[in-house]
Amino acid sequence: MALQLSALRKAGQVTTPEFFQVRISQTPKAFMPVDQELKRLAFARLLRNLSKLSSNPQPDNIHRSRTYSRRVESLLSLAPKHDGNARRLLKSLKNLRKKAGRVRDLDVQIAALRGLRISQAPVGKSQLLRELVEDRARGLRKLEKSFDTEATSELRKRLRRAEKDLSIPADIDPVAEALRLFFEVGRESGALTEKKLHRYRIAGKRARYLAELAGNDKQAEFLVGQLKRVQDGIGDWHDWLELTAKAEKHQNEEENSPLVVALRNINRAKFRQAIQALIEAQNSLPAPAPPRKASSSTPNVNVAVA
């Protein structure tokens, strides 16, 4: 269901034909370094949340573990190099986000399916809902097994050491790095397919958490707000996309079942809304500064992933 940009233009959904191009009419404002208090809080909040996650893996704690992990990853991505502890920590955080993300995604899909009002396919909806609940239970068991008391204790030790050893060059501007990261996807040629929109979802997350590190700066706050709108819009679409795919797999013998048709219609609408949020953000943001020349202080912005 890869909708092409040309089709969206005909439908009146895309109003800016050059929205793939980086805007050059604006330029970033004053340099803003990493906020040291936010740096401290990023580690402190993740450390505190890990204790809650191992003892009480409720939905809020699972979601926060992903958010706080991304913030720590964003900080580590600004370091010019990583020692063995940092590399192992990044691997553990990625594993945590992957397992916690699976549970969180199923929570969202279960809530979405329960809220879907469809009278023509109650049996198919109930069966799919039961499968999602069972998948969530399996995902939660895997999360609890991977991050038991012993594993969590080891992760906390690595976090404390990484915080102590982390050195971010003074000339690193998280806002500039966030803009470059976000607009990098737009430099790719071709139509805006689902695959490319997914890349924007990943880049938008990473860029947002980088920009947040600038603290109470007006430009940073504006950038974070725009990126959050993009993240919410594309994330909402992606949740419905995943739910639609599961419904199609579940009812593969009924290609045009009322449940699948209803979900596809919602997914198409969410896709258009996500694109509109992306367009509006790109039109409002300044062009990124030219890429920094590689040096010993060049950040590793590619370490933080989905």
189 belongs to a structural domain? yes
300 belongs to a structural domain? no
Q: Please report, for the domain that includes residue 142, its CATH number.
A: 1.40.20.10
More confident residue, 3 or 121: 121
Range of the domain at 23: 5-284
The b-or-e profile of 1-25 (16+ CB within 10 A means b, else e) is eebebeebeeeebbeeeebbebbee
Mean pLDDT of 113-118: 90
297 belongs to a structural domain? no
pTM of the predicted structure, to 2 decimals:
0.81
Q: How confident is the model at residue 112 (pLDDT cuts 50, 70, 90)?
A: very high
Determine the pLDDT at residue 111.
96
**DSSP state, 288?**
P
The model's pLDDT over 168-183, given as tens digits with 9 standing for 90+, comes to: 998 899 999 999 999 9
* Structural domains in the chain (count): 1
292 belongs to a structural domain? no
Percent of the chain past pLDDT 70, that is, above it, reads: 83
Q: How far apart are the first and last CA of the chain?
A: 22
269 belongs to a structural domain? yes
The model's pLDDT over 122-178, given as tens digits with 9 standing for 90+, comes to: 778 899 999 999 999 999 999 999 998 899 999 999 999 999 999 999 889 999 999
296 belongs to a structural domain? no
Count Cβ atoms below 10 Å from residue 146 Cβ, excluding itself: 15
108 belongs to a structural domain? yes
211 belongs to a structural domain? yes
**Residues 6+ away with beta carbon under 8 Å from 204:** 182, 227, 230, 231, 234
Q: Measuring CA to CA, which residue among 72, 24, 40, 13 is closest to residue 187?
A: 24
Mean predicted lDDT score pLDDT of the chain: 84
